[in-house]
Chain A
Amino acid sequence: MTEMLLLACGNPLRGDDEFGLHLAAAARERFSAEHLRVLAAQQWTPEMAAEIAHARGVVFADAAVTSPAGEVMLNLLEPADGSDCTQGLQSASPLRASHHMTPERLLACAQAWYGCQPQRAYLLAAGAVTMECTEELSPRLREHALPFALAMLERLLDCEREIACGDEGCEPDADAPAAPCASRAAGSFQVH
């Protein structure tokens, strides 16, 4: 089983839309592959359900157009009901099912297809300032939101390690920094 999975998506040519990809690149440098598997792509697609199913926890990283610009959101996602991973497709666009998946649907597919899903799933997203054609993040996201999200991810991983330790009955690392529990780690944070 993969310890934790960071699943990032974004378009590297559309400004802040690539926030998730930048976070993935920074996470690859900061964390060992043993503790965090990082997967980055333009879109979330059905085959990623297999990666998700076999992870202890998953963090979806993306840019958000519905959040205030510059705000970093960490949301704990509800466990998926895998009984019907097509739910809602009739009213939405079934044509997109091959090309684009939401985190909730990917979790549902993991449960439906592989019989398991991560113990916890999070959505870590930053409100986009601009999605114009550029390979650069806006200064606000690059200088503030990205380091903040990376720090938040680090706290989250510490927290997950603590929980995993509790699950497996091992002794916590005495040198590890204090970490909040998973539910307390989730929320919305304005970065200035």
Chain B
Amino acid sequence: MPKTITIAPVTRLEGHAKITLQLDDAGVVQEAYFHITQVRGFEKFCEGRPYYEMPGIMARICGICPVSHLIASAKACDALLAVRIPPAAANLRRIFNLAQLVQSHALSFFYLSAPDLLLGMDADPAMRHILGVAQTAPETALDGVHLRQFGQTVIEILGGQRIHPGWVVPGGVNEPLSLEKRDKILAMIPEARAKVQRTLTWFKTATENFHAEIEVFANFPTLFLGLADDDGQAEYYDGHLRLSDSAGNIVASSLDPKAYASYIEEKIEPFTYLKFPYYKPLGYPGGVYRVGPLARLNLAERCGTPLADVEWRAFRAMSNGPVLSSFYYHQARLVEMLHATEKIEQLLLDPEILDKHVRASARVNSNEGVGVAEAPRGTLMHHYQVNDDGLITHANLIIATGHNNAAMNRGVLQTARHFVRGDQVAEGMLNRVEAVIRTYDPCLSCSTHAVGQMPLQVELRAPDGALVRSLRRD
């Protein structure tokens, strides 16, 4: 008799979700669904608010990556003002964004996924957390704790507080960097960098224990999307959107982020509140793409800093074309953390970073603005429309986790088909189904931000599982 396995809640990710696996009579997984069961309301309840409140409001979408929303929102507001922000302000925002990337990646890698990587996928669930990791591998755990603290401290130094800082504003930032603060951050970098390097060395050997997971953790062809500069170098704050296929061919090299709506469409499915974006010219599902660390390293022609470039080359050498297995999001995350420590240092050593001119002022000069930046989990888009008084009339957000939604669902199905058999469902098998989701480090609080018309389906099933009645609202 067909059977359904439900994993709820899915653990060690940001937000709330469940997974449904549908088995056939033989206990083989036929379908898998990754349901995002929470809903937010940011796009709707910001309507009517003045544009200058948006960075502060949007940062509240998330407690893990508020800086990413702050930056994308402020960039959208820059576009409403039609200003070019001072160079020092742009570089200070870059540093802020990279510090956010370090603390968020550290949370994902060390706190959420290291329990699987270090203790094993079949370890006691009660010990699969950072404190459990600290008991087994204290050096690795403390490196993670330190790296998260490093990123948070840089954010605190620049923005005044670790969570929901308000330093980034439309037109720039609201305070220049002092020499004292610069030197304080610079002094922390060598230790942070050494810890990332040590973790990278360990991770590359640890992958030997995960051949099966590497093989089936969302290991399939998709497109890859992310920001890059004019030379194809990885870019986290600005630049063009770049799209490559699973063979490494560049499908589009310089997409204008502001025109995202002309080439990205969002599909709606009834089983989840999270939409499924895809590259419109290739349709659905041909236009499904992945974003985030794996995509960024697959797309880029280099990271642009010496140590990270060495690791990037080693990463890309693992495959003839792009690295397709989502298991390698973990390694990509570490390479990006290494790059971040180098890039922050480069930017801070430029004397111009201390320039006092850090904010451009203007009134609203455009009724529409789009801000795009790379958040830790991938490309983040904020799009606002305002009336002549600067009040928001429409907002649309596409969040990194949303971009990855289709790939996450396919990854769950691929992993479940390999590891789950209906007649012998061990906890470790189901943990692997969760773990494939964790590779993407989804932030579900960020990604379910719409209210209004929500896809909702209620199914009534007979005891034998047959569908009696289906109620649906689109």
On whether the two chains bind one another, the answer is: yes
Residues of A within 8 A of B (CB): 40-42, 46-47, 49-51, 84-86, 89-90, 94-95, 97-98, 105, 109, 112-113
Q: Could you name 11 residue pairs across A and B whose Cβ atoms are closer than 8 Å?
A: A41-B161, A46-B131, A47-B149, A47-B152, A50-B146, A51-B149, A94-B127, A94-B132, A95-B129, A98-B130, A113-B142
Are A94 and B148 also in contact (CB < 8 A) when A41-B163, A46-B111, A113-B142 are? no
* A residues in contact with B403, CB < 8 Å: none
Dominant SS at the B interface?
helix
Is B286 engaged at the interface, CB distance under 8 Å to the other chain?
no
Q: Which residue of B lies closest to A85 (CB)?
A: B131
> In the assembly, what is the distance between CA of A90 and CA of B131, in Å?
12
Give the Cβ gap from A61 to chain B, nearest Cβ, in Å.
Answer: 15
Contact A98 B63 (CB under 8 A): no
Which residues from chain A contact B142 at a C-beta distance below 8 Å?
113
In the complex, what distance in Å separates the CA atom of A105 from the CA atom of B128?
A: 17
Q: Collect the chain A residues with CB atoms within 8 Å of residue B149's CB.
A: 47, 50-51
**Complex interface residues of chain B between 124 and 155 (CB less than 8 A to chain A):** 125-132, 134-135, 138, 141-142, 145-146, 148-149, 152
A47 touches B125 (CB 8 A): no
Q: A46-B145, A94-B132 are in contact. List 9 more A-B contacts (CB 8 A).
A: A40-B161, A41-B162, A47-B145, A50-B145, A94-B127, A94-B129, A97-B130, A109-B134, A113-B145
Q: Which 10 A-B pairs have the closest CB atoms?
A: A97-B129, A47-B149, A90-B126, A98-B111, A86-B131, A47-B148, A47-B145, A94-B129, A94-B126, A97-B131
Q: Is the CB of A94 within 8 A of B128?
A: yes
CA distance A86 to B132 in the complex (A): 7
A42 to B59, CA, bound (A): 14
B99 on the interface (CB 8 Å rule)?
no
Q: Provide the residues of chain A in CB contact with B163, threshold 8 Å.
A: 41-42
Q: Which residues of A contact B148 (CB under 8 A)?
A: 47
A86 & B127 in contact (Cβ 8 Å cutoff): yes
Task: Establish whether residues B132 and A98, one from each chain, have CB atoms under 8 Å apart when the complex forms.
Answer: no
Cβ contacts under 8 Å, B162 to chain A = 41
- Give the CA-CA distance A89 to B130 in the complex, in Å: 12
B467 vs chain A, min Cβ distance (A): 33
Count of interface residues, chain B, beta-carbon cutoff 8 Å = 27
Q: Does B107 contact A (CB under 8 A)?
A: yes
CB distance from B27 to the nearest CB of A (A): 29
Instruction: Check if A113 sits within 8 Å of B134, measured CB to CB.
Output: yes
Residue among A46, A47, A49, A89 having the largest count of chain B Cβ atoms under 10 Å: A47
In the complex formed, the residue of A with least CB distance to B107 is A98
Q: Are B112 and A98 in contact (CB under 8 A)?
A: yes
What residues on A are CB-neighbors of B138 within 8 Å? 113
- Closest A residue, CB atoms, query B135: A86
Interface string of B457-469 (1 = CB under 8 A from A): 0000000000000
Select from chain B the residue with minimum beta-carbon distance to A91.
B126
User: Which B358-399 residues have C-beta < 8 A from chain A?
Assistant: none
Compute how far the CA of A84 lies from the CA of B131 in the bound complex, rounded to whole angstroms.
9
Q: Are A89 and B145 in contact (CB under 8 A)?
A: no
For A98, what are the chain B residues with a Cβ–Cβ distance below 8 Å?
12, 107, 111-112, 129-130
Nearest neighbor of B125 in chain A, beta-carbon distance: A94
Q: Which residues of A sit under 8 angstroms from B253, Cβ to Cβ?
A: none
Q: Which residue of A lies closest to B64 (CB)?
A: A99
Known contacts A46-B131, A50-B146; A95/B112 CB under 8 A? no
- How far does the Cβ of B243 sit from chain A's closest Cβ, in whole Å? 34
Question: In the complex, what distance in Å separates the CA atom of A98 from the CA atom of B111?
Answer: 6
Give the distance to chain A from B178, nearest Cβ to Cβ, in Å.
15
- The answer for the CA separation of A109 and B112 in the assembled complex, in Å, is 18
| A111 vs chain B, min Cβ distance (A) | 12
Once A85-B134, A86-B131, A89-B126 are accepted as A-B contacts, the answer to whether A95 and B145 lie under 8 Å apart by CB is: no
Query: Once the chains are docked, how many angstroms separate the CA of A90 from the CA of B128?
Result: 10
Complex Cα spacing A29 to B238, Å? 38
B11 CB–A CB distance under 8 Å: yes
A109 to B145, CA, bound (A): 11
- Which residues of A have CB within 8 Å of B107? 98
Q: Do residues B126 and A112 form an inter-chain contact, with CB atoms below 8 A? A: no
Q: Cβ of A42: which chain B residues have Cβ within 8 Å of it?
A: 63, 163
A49 touches B63 (CB 8 A): no
| Residues in A whose Cβ lies below 8 Å from that of B146 | 47, 50
Q: Which of B131, B135, B145 has the most CB of A within 10 A?
A: B131
Which interface residue of B12, B129, B146 has the most chain A CB atoms within 10 A? B129
- Inter-chain CA distance A50–B146, complex, in Å, is 8
Flag B100-115 by CB within 8 Å of A: 1 or 0 each: 0000000100011000
B11–A95 contact, CB under 8 A?
yes
The residues of B that contact A112 with a CB separation of less than 8 Å are 134
A-chain residues with CB within 8 Å of residue B63 when the two chains form the complex: 42
